[in-house]
Structure 1
Amino acid sequence: MSDNPITELALDSLRDALQQVGYRVEEATDPVANVSYLRSATGGLAFDVRPGNRLPDGSFVDIAFTAVLQVQGELPLELVNRWNATRRFARLQLSQPFLVLTLDVSVAGGVMPNHLRAHIEIWDRLVQELIAYLRDELRQLSAKSETTAPAMPKAPTLETAVEAGASGTVQ
């Protein structure tokens, strides 16, 4: 990476930045919106990097990292709220039947290349934390449902939307 401030982004430069930190990255096109974006994965969880506000030349000044999981069963909203209350930078949203983790990154006004790299590293860490968090929380929900009254619903399960055959995005 250079020492020049980044004032705009392009998919090619984003792909390079992600590959420099070890991600495999592919370009995909949303057939509905006819917009290109990047796809990758970390810790077994697929995610998209979607362009945001476009400039007249086709570049953009912000991106959104988005990971989508499909929820099977009822997921308590308290679990989502607890995540959001104890984490910064990214937000978890339950939009049945999807659980969506998003992180917005802006280069408006100019940022140094290390700033972009730091956001990629923050995203990776948050995804890893989310996987562990959900694993622990769902294990606890499952244990509670097995030891309580038979009327208690079975604990939910999660899978990536891609594994479930769903679109990787929530519109």
Structure 2
Amino acid sequence: MNYLIVPGLNNSGPKHWQSFWEKSLPNATRVIQRCWDHPEKADWVETLDKCIQQLNADTILVAHSLGVCTTVNYLLKAKSQGGVPPYIKGAFLVSPSDVDNVELIGNFAPMPLEKLPIPACVVASENDPFVSMERSEFFASAWGVKLFNAGALGHINSDSDLGEWEQGRKFLAEFESTEVLK
């Protein structure tokens, strides 16, 4: 299995679990957005689409924060335009930023609320400043996916100081074994 890391606002720095996973997961690559600090939804979705078009093996999208919104927008756009490429096997969606309620990223609103066309899961924190657990549960329900409660980990980012984030790796392994590989 390959992994495509889809970071959020300002990219994922060296202390972010996505950066650790990029180095430790087999065949992991990262989406590089043109502008990390002033994101535009259409640009970010197009960049993700271009990255996905370059893939040629079974891949799981590993998204965080605004990268979750980007991934969901990409998946639903692809669904409406003939389908998601068959080698995209799943989406692991961590800490979806509540774009409907966070002004900094208002140009990403509204958050799409349709069933996703591929297996996916949401991982959420009980004390995330950018999305409440209730909203994470609402998104997971609207997208038709399972939710993993990670406990109180803030935004599950560099500030959370998770290193390799072993709990997340366990969630990913469970997601792969029960949803992607079934």
| Bigger Rg, which one | 1
Q: TM-score range by the shorter chain?
A: 0.3 to 0.5
Question: TM-score, normalized by length of structure 2?
Answer: 0.32
Question: TM-score, normalized by length of structure 1?
Answer: 0.33
Greater helix proportion: 2
Name which structure has the greater RCO, CA cutoff 8 Å, separation 6+. 1
Greater strand proportion: 1
